Amino acid sequence: LKLHKALEGKSGVYLAGAIRAKFKAALIDEFQDTDPVQYAIFKKVFGTEDRILFLIGDPKQAIYGFRGADIFAYMKAKGDAKSQYTLRENWRSDPDLIAAINAVFTQTEHPFVYDEIPFQPAVPAERKDIAILRVNGQSEPPFQLWCVEVGKIAGSEKPLAKAKAREIISQAVAAEISRLLRRMGQAYTLDSSYEERRPDPIRYLREGDIAVLVRTNAEARLMQEALTSLHIPSVLYSTGDLFDTHEAREMERLLAAIAEPGNERLLRAGLTTDIMGVRGEEICSLMEDETGWENWLVKFKTFHDLWNERGFIRMFRYLLIQEKVLPRLMSLPDGERRNTNLLHLSEVLHQKSVEKKLGMADLLKWLSEQRDGSMPGFEEHPLRLESDENAVKLVTIHKSKGLEYP
């Protein structure tokens, strides 16, 4: 905004000239995500006869309206342009998929509402390394539309509630993925250049070959639950924060118990976390078993002393080993995600305790403030990605932009 104001001011001509003196041309990629002010700046500086301005974008990919991007700025720029060029060759997609998408979007005259955003049919590039999915020796159609038969599901012809529809869709997609993976030697990819390549071009389908695109993180989590119920590993490319996770809640409960090992209420809360793995009925039994309960009190006093004398990370590593935490969590359907979050949390807490020289009480207070998210000094910690080699990838449309899948 300051640059735009300066360019429109009394010295704007001199400022634009100074910028032009340094750059002969400007290439603005992802131009569909700009706003009118940004376009005005580009046009003011480089929209002259002696400079070159390339605006590269696709209005169908304009997904950042929440950040101020304005598709009408793209339309205006398109109208101002002296020349227009279109990249028609598609090097990423299966030719049959390209043909199907062309067929769908040429059914109507204005598929994207505005005349300024026409559909340009793509042309598949001449490639020989496209992998083709086959089941029972037959190629699977790369583009399929599924319809939900409301009457059969809801028992009436009334429209489905959105929440129910999302649940049904997630379960149907998970079932289809399970069907393909279960076929073992019958579902495979075949490299179309197999005549020129050795060894055997056939590679059997595995979880890591599959991606599911969703609109929101909530839909991704619903999809993950459906896959987990069928024992299919998945990885969520989430934009969530580390301190919003189940593991962060449990870490706070566990550390509170270690900080006050004589507080039996806190100890019970710490033991019933998934990190410690003590079930509710076991706690009831322990309350009647004086020796067993005393053993846990001694353990937590040991954790407390180790934290106090050697620091947080030494204590936590010792706890992980002594209680066999990581192998136990890994046995759960989403174990890799849990372990990734837990280890990430321990690193962040260790870093903060060293940087700020925080003792038990202060580190617990800092953790509580981060979990609250509204306190001054809140820091964002995006989730790390667990290994995705042998897992179905769950990706929001925003995250998937620009990616390429097998």
* Domain final residue pick, 235, 269, 300: 235
> Which one, of 158, 151, 93, 88, lies nearest residue 123 by Cα?
88
Which CATH number goes with the domain that contains 41? Answer: 3.40.50.300
Q: Are residues 95 and 65 in the same domain?
A: no
In a domain, 394, yes or no: no
pLDDT tens, residue by residue, 315-360 = 999 999 999 999 999 988 778 888 989 999 999 999 999 999 999 9
Q: Are residues 68 and 178 in the same domain?
A: no
Q: From residue 377, how far is each of 229, 297, 357, 361, 371 by CA, in Å?
A: 39, 35, 16, 17, 12
Q: Of residues 102 and 397, which shows the higher confidence score?
A: 102
Q: Are residues 265 and 166 in the same domain?
A: no
In a domain, 401, yes or no: no
In a domain, 195, yes or no: yes
What is the Cα 25 distance to its own chain's centre?
35
- The pLDDT score that the predictor gives to residue 139 is 81
Q: Which domain holds residue 174?
A: 131-235
Using CA atoms, how far apart are residues 167 and 241, in angstroms rounded to an integer? 24
Q: Are residues 268 and 357 in the same domain?
A: yes
Using CA atoms, how far apart are residues 26 and 403, in angstroms rounded to an integer? 25
* Domain final residue pick, 220, 235, 250: 235
pLDDT tens, residue by residue, 166-179 = 999 999 999 999 98
Using CA atoms, how far apart are residues 296 and 152, in angstroms rounded to an integer? 54
Q: Any idea which residue has 């309206």 for tokens?
A: 65
> Which one, of 119, 94, 116, lies nearest residue 104 by Cα?
119
Residue 283 has pLDDT above 50, yes or no: yes
In a domain, 404, yes or no: no
In a domain, 385, yes or no: no
pLDDT tens, residue by residue, 25-79 = 999 998 888 888 999 999 999 988 889 999 998 888 776 665 566 788 888 888 8
Give one DSSP letter per residue of 96-117, joined into a string: HHHHHHHHHHTSSS-TTSSTTS
* pTM listed for this prediction: 0.61
Q: Are residues 364 and 349 in the same domain?
A: yes
* Domain final residue pick, 26, 51, 85: 85
Q: Of residues 72 and 199, which shows the higher confidence score?
A: 72
In a domain, 390, yes or no: no
Q: Of residues 8 and 240, which shows the higher confidence score?
A: 8
In a domain, 39, yes or no: yes
CB 390 within 8 A of CB 207: yes
Using CA atoms, how far apart are residues 225 and 173, in angstroms rounded to an integer? 12
Which CATH number goes with the domain that contains 344? Answer: 1.10.486.10
pLDDT tens, residue by residue, 157-168 = 677 788 888 999
In a domain, 300, yes or no: yes
Six-digit token string for 120: 């340009």
